[in-house]
Structure 1
């Protein structure tokens, strides 16, 4: 089953089962970011990827310069492990991990969640690629892909038991716009998928097509 099909199933389940007030608040917030997001202000193909040094699930520092020494990177930004759409995207990348590794590509996932949260979730989901913590979305902000979610969603997160302040270490409710970048060995962004509609994600098969076109 494709990632898109599974994402649509999750969306359909939400639309069918979510209480109407909750559905209305989430739908309104989603429509607003889709309308307001400035894609032109975000990172583009051909741009040099800004360097990063971020902690992994064990709080060990991981740098983009060290990763690039091994070859190209496929970097995916996700909102958090509380997001079912994000979890599906990560699982589908994991399913294709050996194919990316065979091409010399390193997968990297980045979210604003604290390292201890990343560790527990990555272990549970069996992810075998680096999961890095971007505290306060500082790095995502450099790429122009941060969404400050409206305060109207605070009671929604509370009702679902998603404690974002605890998960992220701040009370901002900010999350990255779901983004996947293919960066070549020289640190140049060759392909970019940046989608304000967080129910849509890049298919791993498309990412592999990107990789196959690298020089």
Structure 2
């Protein structure tokens, strides 16, 4: 089962098309291709300070997790389960970065609620979502639907026109090259943390073989 899931995840990464623009629906996103270089984008830290994805990765292999926001129970469950692999991933040299359209103030709420030990970053202007090809516009109908659930996307993102990501996981090697990609338009479907760790281990072994 694990081998099947890992193969499926890698396949999704290879089947993507040209990225860089916002989609109009989750089913229309085009994640960047495997082998792509790490996009250079601006983000914000928990303290609201500007930073870059490059500085956060800091030349190390990294697991990048894009989630919709701290208001999403499926995202919170995924973030919590990532803690189960954090120690093993860090032992392999990986950094775990979780990125969402939430404002820094909203990130603090998520951090306090789940007691996460890895880094949360804000992408409220959707710079990274565009660069990775996983962002889609929230139209007026969907915005109103969320408001009916008590979720104010304008407030959580600080943007008049909110953008959400298709939940995704990317893994880059120590050279900043994309080696693994998983995205699913159904926000309820998340890749298991164990599969993410299996992919990270496989990439680390490949790095050792190629650069002993």
TM class by smaller structure:
0.7 to 0.9
Shift in Å at residue 153 of structure 1?
2.1
Given the two structures, how large is their TM-score scaled by the length of structure 2?
Answer: 0.79
Given the alignment of the two structures, is residue 54 of structure 1 paired with residue 39 of structure 2, yes or no?
A: no
Q: Could you tell me how far 1:47 is from its partner in structure 2?
A: 0.6
Is 1:33 aligned to 2:25, yes or no?
A: yes
In structure 1, stretches of 5+ residues that fail to align are 1-31
Residue 129 of structure 1 corresponds to 118
Partner of 2:87: 98
Specify the SS of the correspondent of 2:35: coil
- In the TM superposition, what are the counterparts of 1:182-201 in structure 2 within 5 Å? 182-201=171-190
TM-score normalised per structure 1: 0.78
Aligned to 1:27: none
Maintained 8 Å contact 1:57/1:119: yes
The secondary structure found in structure 2 opposite 1:158 is helix
What is the Cα-based RMSD across aligned positions, in Å? 1.7
Alignment match, 1:113: 102
What is the distance in 1 between the residues matched to 2:163 and 2:58?
31
Paired residues, number: 181
98-107 or 150-159, larger mean C-alpha shift: 150-159
CA contact (8 A) 1:55 1:61 kept: yes
Q: Are 1:193 and 1:202, in contact at CA under 8 Å, matched by a contact in 2? A: yes
* Change in 2 beyond 3 A, CA 1:140/1:163: same
Give the whole-Å Cα distance in 1 for the aligned partners of 2:33 and 2:78: 21
Deviation at 1:180, TM superposition (A): 0.5
Change (3 A) 1:98 1:157: same
CA distance in 2 between counterparts of 1:132 and 1:177 reads: 16
Structure-2 residue corresponding to 1:64 = 53
Question: Going by fraction, where is helix more abundant, 1 or 2?
Answer: 1
Q: Which moved more, 1:190-199 or 1:53-62?
A: 53-62
User: Which residue in the other structure is 1:43 paired with?
Assistant: 32
Per the TM alignment, residue 97 of structure 1 is displaced from its structure 2 partner at its CA by 1.1
Q: Is the 8 A contact 1:68 1:186 kept in 2?
A: no
2:64 to 75, 88, 101: 75
